[in-house]
A and B are shown apart, each in its own frame.
Chain A
């Protein structure tokens, strides 16, 4: 038996913090990164006698999420208490939803190597986030920060339809992208506003029965999720191959050692004692309410992609790349409307913009310049005002100090030199200094021309118009001796 004889089954429970202005059961702000315990009140600190009042925006956002993922929306739903003790959970219960989630029975389509695949969504429910424990590095104890307590979450539970770490990642990316498009969350994984519990099991190929699953909680990067799935699947296969059995348990993924560890004693299996939250009324939604939310939904990535393929002539790869992120897609649309060259804009996004973001370790949402500015940049190239080499420098500058490209050109003096006389002087100088290149070119080494152009670019700090350079070099080489 080998790894290839096994099938990996993955299901994700994705927690997504909703970007409502206030918390789910009180009016404290939800902003990330404030001083500990500065964004809480008697209600989210669970002072005796306080009561929750449901923030209606949370329901609206969750319904949006449900509609965007093809879920059915419950007309009658309710809140339940999930009871357990932990210092970050001030009430000793989390208000969540147990048997009547707001949204259920949905799906999204993901792209895989074998084409499009449908992943079922079991349910989406609303609940409150817990606070945070800060362990003092000097050993003075553990401090509770309740700023996050009561921040609204949706939990999106997938069917066990995912079969590889690639599919899991693709599913999570798609979900993230949808939630960004509909504007319900900033989905910043590094801030914990999007995180996933990953359920993994393995079974022999062809077997109809699922294996026992293990769960890895609170994973908040694509890389860790991917590594954890791979490690855990291999671990389970190894256990089974050695005649062992998999125990259903919660595991902790350790990013440094790249291993999973058992988290809880089995004898202390949690009994959450769910029961209906008596402090909150049932959630009843009318058809009209749901219809209105449906109408307010923005265009989703799939539809945008279709439009980019058909109306804007992007390649499949480009259309997918651009629509994967709402921020890219918005940048693309705005820029294209300015320069009327969607192809060029998509190329800039896929190559240089993606590269610079990568270098800066930033996400598309961190881009500070607008689509208008990117559109102008492409226009300037199209009009021949600047070379693409200069454009790259301008783009780098736009990441640093977002400004109008024309302003940057003016400030830096980066206007393209298209004056033939001025360029001719440089061309002649370089030809004189590099006689060998002329010989090489004549001998059929086309590369020699590239070398000469490069020298000229260096000389002009990239400002010379490359077309004119090419033309003048050719004239210079061939004019010197018209018989090749």
Chain B
């Protein structure tokens, strides 16, 4: 077995027992990346030199018997909208093609503190706008399960890298499903924690009230281990919650007896692909066999979520992207005679079509005379959705839904139909509006050999319940051992 095939916790065990070195791990990954990434295109930039230097240093420290973190020497892939000081952070956009971040995101600081390091920056839809990674200004990423298909998005690079064994694990960001949906389409574990659990400082903002950094891993144990590092209060982020630090690995317990799981009927009905529905229902059955109670419930207000999401998210995005104006950093047009030209031409030339679409949508819904009809109404939907979740989580420990109504679609299939693309988020978007945690866990493959995943949701800061249930499922149905990506083209 190759090192790159292992999970992060398996690597940690071998590394800490002295069986292998960090240099060996790192070299294994870079040789894998060289072998596969010309097909997958999961990375925008690689940090090979820095990674090898760090790996050697950590190996040296271990050899000298210095006290090191158990995570020391483990590499990770980072979505290219999270700032690493001294490295390019492009957000998949031409406008930031040559932007070098002058500071570290808090999550990067956290990983540095454990002497972890970075394989590279992963591809994404421009500014996280999209569900296919086709909106990257550089190139689309391909799905390792079928090279003609998309890996999902916007964290498609991170999900594909983990699925293709080009990273043991990765960080992504999730505003409306951007971690869970690509994880689903690539057959890996994607975890979006509660809004406010992980600091957003250093995550280039898409929609500030919805964005959350999370993990993409090969198994649930790795999700808990990685969440332990990134969760926690950060005084640099006013929206991060000041809660007692938890050890999420304590929830890696193979037992769901007595758990109450609700299945909102709206997410197993019309609009959900039959194979996906069946697979998700079989998960429910499995949980029932394992001692949980399953009950159908209703989340009717969920139907307003997509509409409200595309108002709130684009409104915030239109404001957040204002700073990319060609003045201080990033792309500046060569064609200008005055200030207005700099703004207009830099932004016209620097942003892609989807970014422009969302900036215009957001600008429109915030405009004088439209604010009440759109933005204010969307905020009301948010209140209603929060209330509905509160009521459901009084009754249930978890909710179970699909992640994506369909499995991976073909590159180019939806790119000209933004509305259809937006509907790919139908099962994931309400979770961000509610600010609650959600995890995508693979549970089978469809007739095309493409992964299907289910989603577990819990009340705010209910990550432990999700981890416990996901871990139990994984112990009783190990997707990873049964199915592997093929790196083939469609039949």
Contact = CB atoms under 8 A, between A and B. Distances in A.
Interface of A: 42, 45-54, 81, 83, 85, 87, 90-93, 144, 271, 273-275, 278-281
Nearest to A79: B238
A271 B204 CA distance: 25
Contact of A92 (B103, B238, B319): B319
A51 B327 CA distance: 20
B323 A42 contact: no
A51 to B, nearest CB: 5
**Number of chain B interface residues as a range:** 35 or more
A87 to B, nearest CB: 5
B2 to A, nearest CB: 35
A275 B371 contact: yes
Given A48-B204, A87-B327, A81 B236 contact: no
Contacts of B316: 275, 278
B241 to A, nearest CB: 10
Nearest to A271: B368
A52 B238 contact: yes
A252 B82 CA distance: 43
A47 B327 CA distance: 12
Contact of B328 (A81, A90, A273): A90
Contacts, number: 100
Given A51-B200, A87-B327, A93-B319, 14 more contacts: A47-B329, A48-B96, A49-B105, A49-B201, A49-B202, A49-B203, A49-B204, A52-B238, A85-B325, A87-B339, A273-B366, A274-B371, A279-B205, A279-B238
A275 B374 CA distance: 12
B315 interface: yes
Given A90-B323, A91-B322, A271-B368, A47 B102 contact: yes
Contact of A144 (B103, B236, B239, B327): B327
A340 to B, nearest CB: 53
B176 to A, nearest CB: 15
A87 B327 CA distance: 7
* 5 smallest beta-carbon distances between A and B, as pairs: A92-B322, A273-B366, A278-B209, A278-B208, A48-B204
* Interface SS of A by simple majority: loop
B162 interface: no
Given A92-B323, A271-B367, A47 B103 contact: yes
B237 interface: yes
Nearest to B91: A48
Nearest to A279: B208
B366 A83 contact: yes
14 contacts: A48-B91, A48-B205, A49-B203, A50-B202, A51-B237, A52-B238, A83-B322, A92-B322, A271-B368, A273-B371, A275-B315, A278-B207, A280-B238, A280-B239
A316 B262 CA distance: 78
Interface string B302-318: 00000000000001101
B242 to A, nearest CB: 11
B487 interface: no
Interface in B92-136: 96, 99, 101-103, 105
A46 B202 contact: no
Contacts of A50: 103, 201-202
B235 interface: yes
Interface string B217-252: 000000000000000000111110000000000000
Interface in B286-316: 315-316
B72 interface: no
A51 B203 CA distance: 9
